[in-house]
Structure 1
């Protein structure tokens, strides 16, 4: 890891920018309340796909090495981890407003860490709470 001040400043800047852009997932449904959650979800991922196409073209040699099972695994992960998640999130925001779903989503990393420490300790070991 570089300890150069410019690299550190750039890293902090891009981290903040990524966080702010991620926050737009909560704003979109509030700005477009007349559009159903499914339409917002698929519009969002259509836009992501169009943005990813030029990047995929750059890495086309690596992409050609992917097997059909790789593509199936990626499709499953995308369907559950992105499309279904955003469909539920945008539906919640459209129904309950922005504050409650945002608060619940914000607690998920802590809840998941606590649950994993309590439920999977035989397999993974216990992590000290401190």
Structure 2
């Protein structure tokens, strides 16, 4: 349990680094940063994939196609847009917008899939959403006032 918490905290800290890269090398285009990040992930994943190669051999062509699509959207496209946004608006605004994703996902899931998956009552969903929105407001108050 403790190791899981440590890994989660480390992942959260490392995730925050995605906002730093575009500020450190603003002269590099977002597409190049996105591609470089993707290559770096691939190099990190190679030894892990090698260690798990027997399970990877069991994946079908459809599995690999789906993985390629997800990685293109989740790594290349997402980071291209994020790096472009950071270079154009700065990290605080981009962070604030990305920070709204939990709110948007919770509300959208409740609206679109609530009937199929079992919706949370808005009464139960409102307090966490309000706390998230207040947190976003507090974190970005300086940027919103500027």
Q: TM-score, normalised by structure 1?
A: 0.88
Higher relative contact order structure (alpha carbons within 8 Å, sequence separation ≥ 6): 1
**CA gap 1:124/1:12 in 2 versus in 1, 3 angstroms:** closer
CA distance in 2, matches of 1:127, 1:114: 10
CA RMSD of aligned residues (A): 1.3
Aligned to 1:3: none
CA distance in 1, matches of 2:113, 2:56: 35
Aligned length: 123
* Residue of 111, 127, 138 corresponding to 1:118: 111
Residues 83-110 of structure 1 deviation map (CA, whole Å, 9 limit, x = unaligned): 1111110110011111111001011111
Q: TM-score, normalised by structure 2?
A: 0.79
Residue aligned with 1:120, SS: helix
CA distance in 1, matches of 2:118, 2:6: 36
Q: Structure 1: 5+ residue runs without aligned partners? A: 1-6
Looking at secondary structure, tell me which structure has more helix per residue.
2
Aligned to 2:138: none
Q: Structure 2: 5+ residue runs without aligned partners? A: 125-146
What's the CA shift for 1:66?
1.2
CA distance in 2, matches of 1:61, 1:85: 30
